[in-house]
A and B are shown apart, each in its own frame.
Chain A
Amino acid sequence: MTVSPAPETRHAASIDVKDLVVRYGAVTAVRGVSFSVAAGEHLTLLGPSGCGKTTTLRAIAGLEKPTAGEIRIDGTVVYGAGSRVQVPPERRGLSMVFQSYAIWPHMTVFDNVAYGLRVRRESETAIAERVGWALDLVQMGELAGRSASKLSGGQQQRVALARAFVFSPSVLLFDEPLSNLDAKLRAEMRIELKELQRQLGITSVYVTHDLEEALAISDRIIVMRNGVI
């Protein structure tokens, strides 16, 4: 099957995180983290579990409300402790692949991937075209009609990926997307991910505790420990 060229994509965005603090009650998960990601750059947050990297990612996504600091996406403040700004995740224009994949079991593969486009009220023909393109890119084209509850781990992973980039987000966030796969599949997916990133050319932030994975995928690596860089 031939892969059609990517439909016109939104430009990649930059991310600026400044003095980010996330506190849950008495526990401080992230203590004053600052970094920037240039447009089109692939950054990895690396660190042992519990070091605050996933929390940082979720704060960028808007799923976690930080305690202090500032987050800008493409120069626009999406969270600012001083300005009391908190843009909800659905209007930050970014996308995310979850560790658990979070594939909706009550939908088909096609419907899962089409979700973000339907939210944006694209026409059904445009949706069919985009979803077909995305599924081909992750080599899942033949399984479009299958129920999502009947997929293997690797297949779910691909669907989650296609769902995340199909609507051309300006930033893609990855929360340990490969940690639930076996070693062989992980090595394979790593190469595919790298290839995908090259083709899509969007900004990405990747969270992992696997150094090898980090080296393979990213332009730059930030190491986190105990909530600091």
Chain B
Amino acid sequence: MDRSQWAPPWRPGPRLVSLVVGGIAAVLVFYPIVYLIQASLSVGDPQARPPEAYGLDNYAGLSRFAQIFWNTAIVAVVATVFAIILGFAMGWMLSRANVPGREALEQLMALPYYVTPLMGALAWSLIGSPSGGFLNQVWRALGGEGHLVDITTPYGIAWVMALFEGSVAFVMIGAVMKSMDPALEEASQVLGAGRLRTMLRITLPLVLPGVLGAAIFVFAEMLGSFSAALVLGLPNRFYVVTTAMYQLVSQYPPRFPQAAAMGVSLFAVMFAMVYIYRRIISRGSYVTITGKAFRPRAMDVGRLRWILFGVCLVYLAVAVLLPVLTLLYASVQRLATAFPRLDNFTLANYVTALSLDAVRSALWNSLLLGCATSILGVLLMSFLSWLIYRSRLPGAGVIEYLLMFPQAVPRLVFAFGMLWAWLVFPIPIYGTLWLLLIAYLTVFLPLGIRTISGVILQIDRTLEESAQMCGAPWGYRLRTVTMPLLRPGLIAAALLLFIASVRELGASILLMGPKAKVITPAIVESWFSTSTELTAAMALLQTLPVALALALLFAVARRALRPVGE
């Protein structure tokens, strides 16, 4: 036999590549964290870099901020409870009850997530701020005293956050409910248990681990959330940890070490939460692992289904339609008021927004970054997903853990670490779009990898193995078999990354330079320093490309959902 055909065992190619990629990922993820921790230990001159002296004083000093930690806990707990109730109710309705049009509704339930807490907070501030809120204007016009609702209270902030995170809770809990074999419920009914008894004794215990997992995940998200608390809390000097950190960093003189210490403590709590979450789902609820094919059937709930249908519509109206319409309404007025007057309408806000260089360049920068993040992100993340889930390399599990790490770090905290880290970086990228690009690619690693790996795992492994048996080396296989099969999933991931980066706030607000602004922080700045109406116009201008990408996403997702290989 021709010896040249048999090269030495295992070319180093794939192994070396994965080592290099894993290494780069580790640097991206851990480099900022190291600097965050270093900053939190600095006890000398707060402006000095690197720190003059190390100590734990900043952590000891955190007791002065007890009120802020308490605020954070209250807001996060209330918002989580509310979001989980929302998600559980919607999840049950749309997967277990025969609500009319539930397939369409299920798709629409994802919308609130895309509206984002920032848009929601701006809109709800217009609706429910104690003095000028539309709802309170109407209340006073009807002869009421004071105000009917106050959205700037902790409960108001929690309400806004829950409305939008409810959609996430719905997706997580709905998936658990769907994976439950209806026969388990039917068996209970056949044995004579009523519907309520079945629900309490069978359904609830079976989905409980999934619900608990969702609750912890949502709670971690709430702890790290930023925008709603910023928009609604800042005017009242109501701070949560993230907004307090932002305040400490952006005030003069900035107090970096205290902010870093706060960030590290928040990160520690969130990390614990995400760890518990992963423990819960890795143990798996008993429901999901039957592996047997069954047809998800819905329970007939009779007349009640129309009521449930109405509940879903109300949720969508409050979380999607109302905020968008409110902003639209405010953006075409000279002075936003609840009572429309013909001479008050104007398009001047849009004209102003589009003629301001600052807004134009911010919008352009965001679109540019969105495209760059989605293209580079998909290339990078699909390669990483393939490495983790398909290459069977030793250490793939470690790489996965590493890449999912940013999920446990609030974006603002992460950005803070990057701020320090890249200031000392020899190549001057601080204050440029490059820094933001790196930040986006890092913080969206979990989002991208989860999306892409979901598609990868759907594709039967033998499809790749048979290419291997045909003699195709790994690069050739990747190009001819793996990539084409993944295409719909990859397009969906690209669109998701685009949407996520165009609307990113927590990391951008700290990292953008004065000469390279992006749109979301610009909207927040405008909210605090210029007119409400102009801000509303800017928010809608930002929504336009996002909505376009979203429409595309829904079209692609429907195609991507078609089973492959049939």
Contact = CB atoms under 8 A, between A and B. Distances in A.
A98 B470 contact: no
B470 A95 contact: yes
Interface in A66-112: 74-76, 78, 84-91, 93-96, 98-100, 102-106
B476 A119 contact: yes
A149 B566 contact: yes
A: interface residue count bin: 35 or more
A90 B467 CA distance: 8
B290 interface: no
A11 B419 CA distance: 65
A115 B462 contact: no
A100 B462 contact: yes
B470 A63 contact: no
Contacts, number: 85
A77 to B, nearest CB: 9
Contact of B485 (A86, A87, A105): A105
B470 A87 contact: no
Contact of B468 (A63, A103, A105, A120): A63
B448 to A, nearest CB: 22
B465 A91 contact: no
B6 A102 contact: no
Contacts of B471: 90-91, 93, 116, 119-120, 167
Contacts of A61: 469
Given A84-B9, A91-B7, A115-B480, A96 B1 contact: no
A102 B472 contact: no
Interface string B538-556: 0000000000000000000
Given A104-B485, A106-B485, A115-B480, A89 B468 contact: yes
B481 interface: yes
B5 interface: yes
Interface in B461-498: 462-463, 465-473, 476, 480-481, 484-485
B10 A102 contact: no
Interface string B451-466: 0000000001011011
Interface string B1-41: 10001110111000000000000000000000000000000
A15 interface: no
Nearest to B473: A90
Given A115-B470, A120-B471, A91 B463 contact: no
Contact of A102 (B1, B465, B484, B566): B465
A167 B466 CA distance: 13
Contacts of A93: 5, 471
A163 interface: yes
A90 B566 contact: no
Top-6 shortest CB links A-B: A116-B470, A102-B462, A102-B466, A96-B469, A98-B462, A119-B472
27 contacts: A62-B468, A74-B1, A76-B1, A78-B6, A85-B9, A86-B9, A87-B9, A89-B468, A90-B468, A90-B472, A91-B5, A91-B6, A91-B7, A96-B466, A96-B469, A98-B462, A99-B462, A100-B462, A102-B462, A102-B465, A102-B466, A105-B485, A115-B467, A115-B472, A116-B472, A119-B471, A149-B566
Interface of A: 61-63, 74-76, 78, 84-91, 93-96, 98-100, 102-106, 115-116, 119-120, 149, 160, 163-164, 167, 173
Given A63-B468, A115-B467, 11 more contacts: A86-B9, A87-B6, A90-B468, A90-B470, A96-B466, A98-B462, A102-B463, A103-B565, A115-B472, A116-B471, A119-B473
